[in-house]
């Protein structure tokens, strides 16, 4: 009888999840309100998570462009507001980033990681099994634009939309409160994981422009490799855990205002059309992420 090694690894992954569940707050704060949008990392299960994720990271897994992260961190310590705009491929992107920073050769990488605040969608709190993993990292929870757009123009969802707006308003205020206090925010401009069968899942959402306007400096990040590729059923508890070479590539640190100005000045964009400007800007950000992704793949392919 041939046993699929991926099935064995997936079984081990969920065995770790069961161990973590014993000490988790997986059933707390599963319903997001304006009063609990900010959630600090609950680190009790970090050691188990480290062991669990290490099963899936093959030799060659790495962080590229750490010099750019160090520069962004220095700016944050000087009181500048900083954000990373990252590619999004998996529900395990953040646990993978955790492992790569905690295994990095410079001890300061651990210190930097603990200054990350992730912008996370509400659904990462709603499923208790998923929350076992998300609760270990500090985050500000939002109702994603893709969700609110589905509610707009439909009276049936008017109350839900109003509540979602209240959540997002409180989240925005919390971001403004914390952005100048030495933290580095991480958000995903696509607003969702990339799914190869859905090209729109790779398209940046125009609301990213609002984040660029919030912050002084930013850099982009690509993610190559995936320990838990999405499936069309959208249920993380039924997605396989696989081994892969995981590579995070951080790009050049840029002044956000200068970046936006240069894009609009160097290109023929109708600046009177505000929605067009937003989408055009985030399209350029996604192009930068693609460049980083292609660069990282040249490094990664040597280990596959």
pTM, rounded to two decimals: 0.95
The neighbouring-strand residues paired with 57 are 244
Residue 162 belongs to domain with CATH number = 3.40.1130.10
CB 206 within 8 A of CB 278: yes
* Count of structural domains within the chain: 1
Q: What is the pLDDT of residue 4?
A: 65
Residue 112, CB-side half-sphere exposure with 13 Å CA sphere: 26
pLDDT in tens, the chain (304 residues): 344 667 899 999 999 999 999 999 999 999 999 999 999 999 999 999 999 999 999 999 999 999 999 999 999 999 999 999 999 999 999 999 999 999 999 999 999 999 999 999 999 999 899 999 999 999 999 998 888 888 887 777 789 999 999 999 999 999 999 999 999 999 999 998 989 889 888 999 999 999 999 999 999 999 999 999 998 876 767 889 999 999 999 999 999 999 999 988 877 777 778 888 899 999 999 999 999 999 999 999 999 8
Distances from the Cα of 163 to the Cα of 75, 151, 170, 207, 268, angstroms: 35, 11, 11, 19, 39
Measured CA to CA, the distance from residue 90 to residue 193 in angstroms comes to: 6
Q: What is the pLDDT of residue 136?
A: 98
List, in order, residues 6 or more apart from 48 with CB less than 8 Å away.
16, 19, 20
Q: Are strands 139-142 and 217-224 parallel, antiparallel or unpaired?
A: unpaired
Q: What is the pLDDT of residue 5?
A: 66
Q: What is the pLDDT of residue 2?
A: 47
What is the three-class DSSP state of 64? Answer: strand
Q: Hey, CA dihedral for 232, 287, 103, 140, is it positive or negative?
A: negative
* Phi, psi (rounded to 5 degrees) for 85: -105, 110
CB 42 within 8 A of CB 137: no
Measured CA to CA, the distance from residue 89 to residue 183 in angstroms comes to: 24
Chain centroid, CA 19 distance in Å: 25
Q: What is the pLDDT of residue 1?
A: 37
Helices (H), the chain: 5-21, 46-54, 66-77, 93-102, 108-113, 123-126, 128-134, 145-151, 158-178, 208-214, 256-266, 274-300
Q: What is the pLDDT of residue 26?
A: 96
Structural domain for 69, as ranges: 5-303
The alpha carbon torsion through 148, 281, 39, 95 (nearest 10 deg) reads 110
């Amino acid at each position: 009888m041939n046993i699929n090694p991926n099935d064995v690894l997936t079984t081990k992954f969920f065995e770790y999840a069961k161990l973590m569940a014993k000490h988790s707050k997986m059933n707390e704060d599963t319903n997001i309100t304006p009063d609990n949008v900010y959630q600090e990392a609950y680190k009790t299960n970090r050691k188990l998570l480290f062991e669990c994720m290490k099963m899936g990271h093959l030799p060659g897994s790495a962080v590229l462009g750490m010099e750019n992260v160090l520069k962004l961190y220095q700016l944050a310590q000087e009181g500048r507001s900083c954000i990373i705009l990252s590619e999004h491929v998996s529900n395990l992107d953040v646990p993978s980033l955790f492992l790569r920073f905690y295994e990095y050769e410079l001890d300061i990488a651990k210190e930097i990681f603990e200054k990350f605040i992730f912008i996370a969608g509400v659904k990462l709190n709603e499923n208790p099994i998923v929350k076992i993993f998300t609760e270990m990292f500090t985050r500000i929870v939002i109702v994603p634009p893709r969700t609110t757009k589905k509610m707009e123009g439909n009276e049936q969802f008017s109350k839900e939309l109003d509540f979602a707006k209240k959540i997002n308003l409180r989240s925005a205020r919390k971001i403004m409160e914390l952005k100048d206090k030495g933290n580095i925010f991480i958000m995903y401009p696509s607003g969702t994981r990339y799914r190869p069968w859905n090209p729109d899942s790779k398209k940046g959402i125009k609301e990213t422009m609002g984040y660029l306007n919030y912050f002084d400096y930013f850099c982009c990040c690509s993610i190559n490799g995936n320990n838990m590729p999405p499936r069309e059923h959208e249920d993380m508890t039924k997605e396989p855990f696989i081994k892969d070479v995981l590579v995070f590539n951080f790009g050049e640190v840029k002044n956000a205002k200068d970046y936006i100005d240069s894009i609009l000045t160097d290109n023929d964009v109708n600046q009177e059309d505000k929605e067009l400007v937003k989408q055009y800007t985030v399209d350029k950000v996604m192009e930068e992420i693609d460049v980083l992704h292609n660069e990282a793949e040249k490094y990664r392919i040597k280990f596959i």
